[in-house]
Structure 1
Amino acid sequence: MKVQFLGAAQTVTGSCYVIEACGKRFCVDCGMHQGNKAIEDRNRDTTVYRPEALDFILVTHAHIDHSGLIPLMVKDGFSKPIYCTPATSELLELMLQDSAHIQEMEAEWEAKKYSRRGLKNPPEALYTTDDAARAGTLVKTVQYHDTFEPAPGIKVTYYDAGHILGSGTLRIEANENGKTTSIIFSGDIGRPQALIVRDPETPPRADYVFMESTYGDRNHKNESTSDDELADAIAYSHSKGEKVIIPAFAVERTQEILYCLHVLHNQGRLPDDMPVFVDSPLAIRATEVFKRHRNLFDEDATRLLSKGEDPFELPNLKYTLNVAESQAINEYQGPAVVISASGMCNAGRIKHHLKHNLWRPGASIVFVGYQAVGTPGRKIVDQAKKITLFGEDVNVAARIYTIGGFSAHAGQSQLLDWLKPLVGKETNVVLVHGEEKAQTTLAGLIKENYGITPLIPGYLEEMTLEGCTLCETVTHEAKAHPRVDWDFLTSEVERKWGMFKGKLADLEQRPWVEQTELQDALEKMDYALTRLISRM
């Protein structure tokens, strides 16, 4: 058996593990890479995926960092089954259509920008809504605990990962040449006692445990006080007459926030004159999916339902479906709670709400999920003084809250507890879906507690497995992380600066108005260079 890591290797986005076994080639997840330009450029190179040569795809859950490239695989030749749970199937249809719509809108915007500048060949959409629709026709649903064979010699079983509605941990067995190799892919592991969904399950032991490590370097702080922290943000901005902006993933996190606000309303801690806007058409549709799968709710949520309460409803709740309604939120005078996607602030309507509120001292920005490296959300959480939105620098003056108790990922100690029953004499642990610091810390704790030294693969790395034995590892470092040619870049800057200085004498002979225009351009370059130096 061979496994190649095409994403979520020493990072938390782009989850995709391509497996070759029993004469078949398939992948677990096929997620979109999210972050800075260099990271997102990985989305456009499908040669490493070879979509036409994939025999099937196993999806752990519907989040875009685990599913967002599936329509691109279909666009480039994939036409085989996609397996997931029934709830994931419904959410997947919504999320991939939404993602495709965003791709089309961004491509249209880029085309206009290129046209205004007189440029040709603007970047195309990664995929279209038609590609997403074709992907939907390939989906086949499987129930938790029902073992199935997507190909001869390969058995797969889904267990509840407790991360979002329908999320799964996979246990795969491949029987080749009389030898069986078993692997657990954790998917994203949920927090025990999280809102709405059930606690994560532990599957039977396997030779290998491919385990997420998002919060491997820390526990969630004050999990029991999440309601109080959210209430504090609401009280602060209400007293200032400003808004509470909550960047939230449309699936699970938005529903959890509504659940929490429902509780705060019952406790009298949500002011009656403070409307709650859910500004995400996807989140609105996803909430309906949640209501159709109440059998997957935990005991607390089920208890609320049994009392006749809808945990996703509030007296002052307002849904905004179209762009005009979304824009009207920013014209609304007075305090309000605004829940909008995307959760990492790198796309969608949330960027507009940040542009209108991030610079206001009385506003609150409440982060309720992980912020990946390179995203605007991560920059704000890391205490950036300014961030760039729509080409404009926006001052960060709002009060920033980071509430770990809403995270859909297990914290450090919870990850260790999840792993403990899976540890055997010959168990191998492979850490994925985590940044380097988190993985290194968690690896040390796993070795200390269980006597196992985990493997930490890099992007594009390949492992050959046979039973409990790791036979070979092949890295592709040069392709995974192309070297930045700093010498070339700096010499080009110096060369062009020399050309500029050589023309200074001529500049002084030009009309004064023309000189001031060139002065403005140079001052902008100076400002950009100052910002660059401040980041080094």
Structure 2
Amino acid sequence: MRISFHGAAGGVTGSCHLVEANGQTILIDCGMFQGGGELPEDNSQAFGFDPYSVSFLLLTHAHLDHCGRIPLLVKRGFSGEIIATPATCDLTRLVLMDAARLNEEDARRRTRHGLRSEPLYDSMDALDAIDRFGRKAKYRIPIDLGHGIRATYFEAGHILGSASILLEIHEHGRRRRILFSGDIGPAVRPLLNEAAPPGDADVVVMETTYGDRDHRALGATLDEFYGAINAADERGGNVVIPTFALERAQELLFYLREGIEADRIRPSWQVFLDSPMAISATRIYRRHPDLLKPAIAEMLRSGDDPFRLPALHFTQDAADSAALNRIHSGAMLIAGSGMCTGGRVRHHLRHNLGQADGSVIFVGFAAEGTLARIILDGAKSVKLMGDEIPVRAQIHTINGFSAHAGQGDLLGWHARTGAPEITFLVHGEEPARQALAGALSGRIELPLMHQSFEI
């Protein structure tokens, strides 16, 4: 029985882990590498294993860094079954079609500039991948994969439908329980239930995004968030919020609604959710009330929409998005991508970063090399769409909204997995992995790309 690591091993993105047992090859996630320029050379390189050999792909959740290379996997020969929760299936369809469109647009742009380029994958490849989705996983209900192997999904509390996955493998007269954390959500979330791992795992593969620190308390985070909005209001400027379309956008709408109801921000703010993906994802959230906290689910069932604001506008069309750049005051622009590596937020930053009366509020993780990290690290100007844009707007970073568990919650999650023989730490920058490794006991491994272990 072997496990090997083909992504998120020494970095935060590209999650992709392979288990070989009983003549079967099972892949956990197949994510895209993200960072400066989306790391195209990393995404197009060989996987480190033969896609033809993979029987099952078990998907923990729908974020691009966990599902984004699935169409490439299918394109290169994978013909097995993809298993995920129903909500993850819905969200992944959305994410992959959007990624294919962006790949196609990028290839056309490069071609116009005289650089012959083929997209990593296109819309037909994405549709082929979507066709590979088979059984739907329900939390805590085992799925038989045959050959003495079964998989059970457990709530991870990260985004809608996210899961930790337990593989139970009977091989040569012994049983091994291998638990993949996926991405773990913090204990306190407004919309989702807390992560609920099983106990008594023999091997744990665990994320470490914030393995070296804890997030601010929610109360202090909301104070800072509302304060940043009100400060921009007093200066008369706009607020730009780069955000991830899945979970973060929905949480922001919820917190804005709460802030308005509590008279902490004025209700007349014109709020534009300028992200077709986030708009569609919000509809998917409404479709799965059973996966939300009981109080939120009851709101939806009673017709009291937790995402509704007095002056909320859904901006679907590109022309409507471009028109927002003519608004110079009183607009809150929520747009992707969260790390500013692409999407409509780059246009809004181009028009608002140089305005001293406005604010840019970052509410999530920014990987090394991304535009978001460059701005957060104090750049005086940045290049956007060929222009050098000065950074004059007030820059805020509010980490307490993270959909990832901080160090304390990670340690608490690990403590609930029993006393594993081996813990593999993945999906984190090296300082975070090292810090969490130092806080855990037992055998700890920090795998590198394509490294393999006998388990």
3-state DSSP of counterpart to 1:333: coil
Query: Partner of 1:269 in structure 2?
Result: 264
Q: How far did residue 47 of structure 1 move? A: 4.8
Query: Partner of 1:148 in structure 2?
Result: 143
Query: Partner of 2:32 in structure 1?
Result: 32
User: Contact 1:223–1:404 (CA<8 Å) still a contact in 2?
Assistant: no
Q: Work out the CA distance in 2 between the residues paired with 1:130 and 1:65.
A: 20
Q: Work out the CA distance in 1 between the residues paired with 2:371 and 2:130.
A: 31
Q: Work out the CA distance in 2 between the residues paired with 1:77 and 1:257.
A: 40
Among 452, 464, 473, the alignment partner of 2:454 is 464
Q: How far did residue 453 of structure 1 move? A: 4.1
User: Contact 1:46–1:73 (CA<8 Å) still a contact in 2?
Assistant: no
Q: Work out the CA distance in 1 between the residues paired with 2:317 and 2:59.
A: 30
Q: Work out the CA distance in 2 between the residues paired with 1:37 and 1:353.
A: 19
User: Contact 2:87–2:284 (CA<8 Å) still a contact in 1?
Assistant: yes
3-state DSSP of counterpart to 1:454: strand
Kindly report which structure 2 residues correspond to 1:228-247, keeping only aligned pairs within 5 A, or say none. Answer: 228-247=223-242
Q: Does 1:441 align with 2:435?
A: yes
Instruction: Tell me which amino acid in the other structure corresponds to 1:435.
Output: E
Query: Partner of 1:287 in structure 2?
Result: 282
3-state DSSP of counterpart to 2:119: coil
Query: Partner of 1:454 in structure 2?
Result: 444
Residues 73-93 of structure 1, C-alpha deviations (whole Å, 9 max, x = no match): 111221211000001011111
TM-score normalised per structure 2: 0.96
Q: Work out the CA distance in 1 between the residues paired with 2:50 and 2:393.
A: 46
Instruction: Tell me which amino acid in the other structure corresponds to 1:144.
Output: Y
Query: Partner of 1:85 in structure 2?
Result: 85
Residues 472-517 of structure 1, C-alpha deviations (whole Å, 9 max, x = no match): xxxxxxxxxxxxxxxxxxxxxxxxxxxxxxxxxxxxxxxxxxxxxx
Bigger mean CA offset, 172-181 vs 317-326: 172-181
Instruction: Tell me which amino acid in the other structure corresponds to 1:157.
Output: T
Kindly report which structure 2 residues correspond to 1:439-518, keeping only aligned pairs within 5 A, or say none. Answer: 439-446=433-440, 451-465=441-455
User: Contact 2:54–2:80 (CA<8 Å) still a contact in 1?
Assistant: yes
User: Contact 1:82–1:138 (CA<8 Å) still a contact in 2?
Assistant: yes
Query: Partner of 2:383 in structure 1?
Result: 388
Q: Work out the CA distance in 1 between the residues paired with 2:318 and 2:416.
A: 49
Q: Work out the CA distance in 2 between the residues paired with 1:310 and 1:299.
A: 14
Kindly report which structure 2 residues correspond to 1:366-445, keeping only aligned pairs within 5 A, or say none. Answer: 366-424=361-419, 427-445=421-439
Bigger mean CA offset, 399-408 vs 340-349: 399-408
Query: Partner of 1:192 in structure 2?
Result: 187
Among 306, 326, 329, the alignment partner of 1:334 is 329
TM-score normalised per structure 1: 0.82
- CA separation of 1:352/1:37 partners in 2, compared to 1, >3 Å: closer, same or farther? closer
Instruction: Tell me which amino acid in the other structure corresponds to 1:161.
Output: A
Q: Work out the CA distance in 2 between the residues paired with 1:156 and 1:3.
A: 16
Instruction: Tell me which amino acid in the other structure corresponds to 1:365.
Output: V
Q: Work out the CA distance in 2 between the residues paired with 1:219 and 1:345.
A: 24
Q: Work out the CA distance in 2 between the residues paired with 1:38 and 1:261.
A: 31
Query: Taking CA–CA contacts closer than 8 Å with sequence separation of 6 or more, which of the two structures ends up with the larger relative contact order?
Result: 2
Q: Work out the CA distance in 1 between the residues paired with 2:380 and 2:149.
A: 52
3-state DSSP of counterpart to 2:6: strand
| % same residue | 41
Q: Does 1:107 align with 2:107?
A: yes
Aligned length: 454
Specify every segment of 5 or more residues in structure 2 that has no aligned partner in the other structure, as ranges.
Answer: none
Query: Partner of 1:226 in structure 2?
Result: 221
Bigger mean CA offset, 381-390 vs 453-462: 381-390
3-state DSSP of counterpart to 1:365: strand
User: Contact 1:7–1:15 (CA<8 Å) still a contact in 2?
Assistant: yes
3-state DSSP of counterpart to 1:282: helix
3-state DSSP of counterpart to 2:416: helix
- CA separation of 1:234/1:37 partners in 2, compared to 1, >3 Å: closer, same or farther? closer
Q: Work out the CA distance in 2 between the residues paired with 1:335 and 1:178.
A: 67
Among 105, 112, 127, the alignment partner of 1:133 is 127
Instruction: Tell me which amino acid in the other structure corresponds to 1:408.
Output: A
Q: How far did residue 38 of structure 1 move? A: 8.6
Instruction: Tell me which amino acid in the other structure corresponds to 1:224.
Output: G
3-state DSSP of counterpart to 1:250: coil
Kindly report which structure 2 residues correspond to 1:137-216, keeping only aligned pairs within 5 A, or say none. Answer: 137-140=131-134, 141-216=136-211
User: Contact 1:264–1:270 (CA<8 Å) still a contact in 2?
Assistant: yes
- CA separation of 1:438/1:323 partners in 2, compared to 1, >3 Å: closer, same or farther? same
Q: Work out the CA distance in 1 between the residues paired with 2:129 and 2:309.
A: 35
Q: How far did residue 309 of structure 1 move? A: 2.1
Specify every segment of 5 or more residues in structure 1 that has no aligned partner in the other structure, as ranges.
Answer: 466-536
Residues 174-203 of structure 1, C-alpha deviations (whole Å, 9 max, x = no match): 222222222100000001121211110021
Residues 438-460 of structure 1, C-alpha deviations (whole Å, 9 max, x = no match): 111111111xxxx3241111112
Q: How far did residue 37 of structure 1 move? A: 4.8
Residues 334-366 of structure 1, C-alpha deviations (whole Å, 9 max, x = no match): 211111011111011111111111122221111
Q: Work out the CA distance in 1 between the residues paired with 2:424 and 2:80.
A: 28
User: Contact 1:222–1:404 (CA<8 Å) still a contact in 2?
Assistant: no
Q: How far did residue 272 of structure 1 move? A: 3.5
User: Contact 1:224–1:405 (CA<8 Å) still a contact in 2?
Assistant: no
3-state DSSP of counterpart to 1:100: helix
Q: Does 1:311 align with 2:301?
A: no
Q: Work out the CA distance in 1 between the residues paired with 2:173 and 2:196.
A: 30
- CA separation of 1:269/1:306 partners in 2, compared to 1, >3 Å: closer, same or farther? farther
User: Contact 1:212–1:432 (CA<8 Å) still a contact in 2?
Assistant: yes
Bigger mean CA offset, 308-317 vs 410-419: 308-317
Among 246, 254, 258, the alignment partner of 2:253 is 258
Q: Work out the CA distance in 2 between the residues paired with 1:221 and 1:406.
A: 9
